[in-house]
């Protein structure tokens, strides 16, 4: 029996894999990455946490590649205030918002997200990208992992492609403007 070092061990559940279902399986995780999946029980040299999963289903987390927000938070607009129908968009609200968004989505089985920014003012784009970049660089583990962001409506060329985007925020692409945004995002766009 091989000795394994792991931060997390999930044992006893039905593991759903691309190759099929492993009944009464054993899944080991180290530094947030799956290290092994097996039917055999293993010996562990170090374990920080064990989850007993008898009669449970164990599936991979979902990845959401187009996420604007949740729980009253929007990654570009901030927090929607029901009391007056306005958005609160200061940096602290955006910091609070990204934490709430990723916690909410993790609770529902999403383990990774890419945040989508609708077309907006330069200030809002820069502030949102700054907060997303800080969050990614700090490697926060409290919720779904933020893989990056993208500009959904900023560089659309005409109203016929607008969809839900406001054409007033469309702009012609330029390397200079993109580099500005990339710097605010700490290179996470």
Q: Can you give the pLDDT at residue 6?
A: 64
Mean pLDDT of 36-43: 78
pLDDT value for 21: 94
- The whole-number average pLDDT for the span 131-143 is 87
Instruction: Give residue 14's pLDDT band: very low, low, confident or very high (50, 70, 90).
Output: very high
The predicted model gives 110-126 an average pLDDT of 94
pLDDT value at 122 more than 80: yes
**133 or 31, which is more confident:** 133
For the chain, give the mean pLDDT.
Answer: 89
Q: What is the mean pLDDT of residues 110-127?
A: 94
Assign 3-class secondary structure to the chain: CCEEEEEEEEECCEEEECCEEECCCEEEEECCEEEEEECCCCEEEEEEEEEECCCCEECCCEEEEEECEECCEECCCEEEECCCCEEECCHHHHHHHHHHHHHHHHHCCEEEEEEEECCCCHHHHHHHHHHHHHHHHCCCCCCCEEEEEEECCCCCCCHHHCCCCCHHHCCCCCHHHHHHHHHHCCCCC
Q: What is the mean pLDDT of residues 20-39?
A: 87
């Amino acid at each position: 029996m091989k000795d394994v070092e792991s931060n997390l061990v999930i044992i006893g559940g039905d593991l759903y894999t691309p190759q099929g279902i492993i009944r009464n399986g054993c899944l080991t995780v180290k530094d947030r990455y799956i290290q092994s999946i097996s039917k055999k029980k293993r010996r562990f040299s170090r374990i920080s946490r064990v989850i007993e999963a008898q009669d449970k289903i164990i599936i991979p987390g979902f990845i959401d590649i187009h996420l604007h927000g949740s729980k009253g938070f929007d990654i570009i607009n901030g927090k929607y205030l029901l009391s007056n129908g306005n958005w609160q968009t200061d940096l602290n609200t955006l910091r609070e918002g990204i934490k709430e968004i990723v916690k909410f989505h993790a609770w529902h089985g999403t383990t990774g997200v890419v945040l989508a920014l609708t077309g907006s003012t330069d200030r809002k784009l820069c502030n949102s990208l700054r907060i997303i970049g800080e969050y990614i660089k700090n490697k926060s583990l409290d919720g779904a992992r933020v893989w990056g962001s993208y500009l959904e409506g900023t560089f659309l060329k005409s109203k016929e492609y607008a969809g839900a985007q406001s054409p007033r925020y469309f702009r012609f692409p330029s390397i200079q403007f993109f580099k500005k945004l990339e710097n605010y995002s700490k290179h996470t766009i």
